[in-house]
Amino acid sequence: MVVTSPSAIDLAFERARRGDPEGFADWVRAGELPLRRSLRPFTRRVDVEAIVQEGLLRMWDLAPRIDLQGRDASLRYAARLVRNLALKEIERGARLDPIPPGDDDVVIQPDRPPDSGLRRIIMDCFSRLPRKPREALLARVSDGGDNPDRDLAASLGMRLNTFLQNIVRARRHLASCLESHGVPPREYLS
């Protein structure tokens, strides 16, 4: 019999099962991006952001009631959950396109620990942004998805479209700055 030691995400999920919000935060930190990437086949037909949020919230709700076995089992469970949510959303839209092929044996890995070097470069590039694009992007980042863009724009005295154009400019500056530091876009798209 092979006994595997629990992974960091297994330990975080165990804490979430006991109702520990910090444990759930650790679980989300390691699981969000792999779950998002797993939804790539559905990109054209569902708003992946909405599915990821719904799936993560359901994991918090379900955690105390599910007992999972095996390494990274909670992440594999969550991958099946978000896939089913995406399929339901497609059904709701009654679209006629074929559904992507099934994938019952989900292969998914927890996110790797953040690259501190990349983080430092992003922070440095952010600090060099022109004022208005930086303000707009900072408003979006600081808000953490709690308010719509129109409210964030109003708080900065900008029209919604101006606010969005400023964030677009900010991202272009960031991408260019990152590339000047030798960080190609695929590094932060992966």
Partner 1 sequence: MRADNDADRDALIEATASAFRERDASGRIVPSPAWRDLAPEDREAAFDHQIAARHVERALDPDGLSATARAVLLRARRLTQLVRGEQE
Residues binding partner 1 (CB under 8 A):
19, 21, 24-25, 28-29, 32-33, 36-37, 40, 43-44, 46-50, 52-54, 56-57, 60-61, 89, 114, 118-119, 122-123, 126, 137, 140-141, 143-149, 161, 164-165, 167-168, 171, 174, 185, 188-190
Rounded least distance, CB 154 to partner 1, Å: 14
* Shorter beta-carbon distance to partner 1: residue 70 or 84: 84
Rounded least distance, CB 164 to partner 1, Å: 4
* Shorter beta-carbon distance to partner 1: residue 73 or 122: 122
Rounded least distance, CB 118 to partner 1, Å: 7
Question: In the structure encoding, which two tokens stand for residue 115, read together?
Answer: 């690259």
Rounded least distance, CB 104 to partner 1, Å: 23
* Shorter beta-carbon distance to partner 1: residue 4 or 127: 127
